[in-house]
């Protein structure tokens, strides 16, 4: 049955020993005549690494969490080569339903789709640029009209509203461009680093110095290192903080916290004292353009969708959890580097 699948598939038992694989996987390993895959997860990836230069330091911890059942699934996108010659592979790990203790690892070649997505991203970038040019001209004409005349109170109000509309479209374009980049250009990212997450969180707060709220940074005493794409991760943190600040009353506390999560994972949390999110909407708020009914705050409805794309780009996840008091409790989970002393 596995040989009928178009993707490379291998099964591991609860001890991370290979139980079997299909012909596509055997071909990927370089020997299509092997009757079955053997060995454990580490030896399997050591063999695979020679052919595709997969990053074991990042892949293994995430997949081991699935084998150990601390996470139900894991996704990682690997890219080697450049331009049209680049090969893009997606690693999907899934935990079988209890009582079955097996783990399925699927490797899918998405090179053609990745190239199509890059072409789509390029077209969108050109379209966004063409839209911004007339927007800038409109904004300039509004400013000229304000200089040439002494507007009445009514006209001043109209000018202000025009500026706000132009600015709103510009912000929407920024959000769409960022989401487009995360969804269609993530495979080619070159900004991966292995920083202490405490330093990344400190850096993320620099953009929030002038606030009507009290920002609290809660960090552990020990370092927590992860392999991250720095710029997108900072965008994710900014979006999470902006969302919390937007729905919090002035002079209330917004907390950015870093702590250990399930074994091998880091939890970045944002807690506010706003109205919170009803359980019915805790998943839907991550959909593009979704707005909670009755919401008065302005926005594009893309901030949390971008945040979710960035966390998926990192092989992590984001969700809202129950908050014992007032406010929302956002959790972002990232895979920690395996060499760190705090991983059991």
Q: Which residue has the tokens 């049955």?
A: 1
State both tokens at 101: 């203790």
The pLDDT of 156-185, averaged and rounded, is 73
Same domain, yes or no: 177 and 126: yes
Which domain does 48 fall in, by range?
Answer: 2-109
Q: For residues 200 and 332, give the distance between their C-alpha atoms in angstroms, rounded to a whole number.
A: 14
Asked, for residue 340, whether it belongs to a domain, the answer is: no
Tell me, yes or no, whether 86 and 119 share the same domain.
no
Q: Which of 153, 186, 219 is a domain's end point?
A: 186
Question: Is the distance from CB of 59 to CB of 76 less than 8 angstroms?
Answer: yes
Q: Is the pLDDT of residue 213 over 60?
A: yes
Per the structure, the count of domains in the chain is: 3
CB-based contacts of 263, cutoff 8 Å, min separation 6: 65, 68, 70, 343, 344
Query: Global pTM?
Result: 0.64
pLDDT at 22 over 60: yes
> pLDDT of 89-108, one tens digit each?
888 899 988 888 899 999 88
Asked if residue 322 and residue 198 are part of one domain, the reply reads: yes
Could you say which DSSP state residue 212 is in? Answer: S
What was the pLDDT predicted at 203?
92
* Per-residue model confidence as pLDDT tens digits over 216-263: 999 999 999 998 888 889 989 999 998 898 888 888 889 999 999 888
Spell out the long-range contacts of 321-327 with Cβ–Cβ below 8 A and sequence spacing 24 or more.
Answer: 322/279, 323/271, 323/276, 325/273, 326/273, 326/274, 326/275, 326/276, 327/248, 327/271, 327/272, 327/273, 327/274, 327/275, 327/276
Residues 124 and 48 grouped into a single domain = no
Element at 138 (helix H, strand E)? helix 111-148
């Amino acid at each position: 049955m596995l040989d009928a699948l178009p993707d490379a598939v291998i099964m591991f038992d609860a001890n991370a020993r290979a139980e079997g694989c299909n012909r596509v996987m055997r071909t990927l390993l370089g020997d299509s005549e092997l009757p079955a895959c053997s060995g454990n997860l580490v030896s399997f990836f050591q063999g695979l690494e020679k052919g595709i230069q997969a990053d074991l330091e990042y892949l293994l911890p995430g997949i081991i969490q699935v084998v150990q059942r601390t996470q139900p699934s894991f996704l990682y996108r690997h890219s080697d080569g450049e331009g049209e010659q680049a090969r893009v592979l997606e690693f999907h790990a899934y935990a079988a339903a209890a009582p079955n203790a097996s783990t399925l690892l699927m490797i899918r070649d998405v090179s053609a789709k990745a190239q199509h997505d890059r072409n789509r991203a390029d077209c969108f970038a050109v379209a966004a640029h063409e839209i911004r040019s007339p927007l800038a001209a409109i904004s300039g004409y509004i400013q000229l009209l304000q200089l040439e005349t002494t507007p009445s109170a009514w006209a001043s109000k109209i000018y202000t509203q025009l500026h706000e509309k132009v600015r709103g479209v510009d912000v929407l374009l920024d959000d769409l461009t960022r989401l487009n980049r995360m969804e269609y250009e993530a495979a080619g990212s070159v900004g991966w680093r292995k920083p202490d997450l405490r330093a990344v969180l400190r850096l993320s707060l620099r953009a929030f110095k002038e606030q009507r709220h009290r920002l609290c940074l809660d960090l552990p005493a020990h370092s927590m290192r992860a392999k991250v794409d720095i710029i997108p991760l900072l965008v994710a943190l900014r979006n999470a903080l902006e969302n919390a600040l937007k729905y919090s009353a002035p002079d209330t506390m917004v907390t950015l916290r870093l702590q250990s999560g399930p074994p091998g994972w880091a939890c970045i949390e944002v807690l506010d004292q706003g109205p919170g999110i009803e359980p019915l909407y805790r998943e839907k708020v991550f959909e593009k353009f979704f707005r909670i009914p009755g919401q008065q705050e302005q926005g594009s409805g893309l901030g949390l969708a971008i945040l979710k794309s960035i966390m998926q780009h990192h092989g992590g996840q984001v969700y809202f959890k129950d908050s014992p008091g007032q406010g929302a409790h956002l959790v972002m989970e990232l895979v920690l580097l395996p060499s760190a002393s705090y991983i059991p």
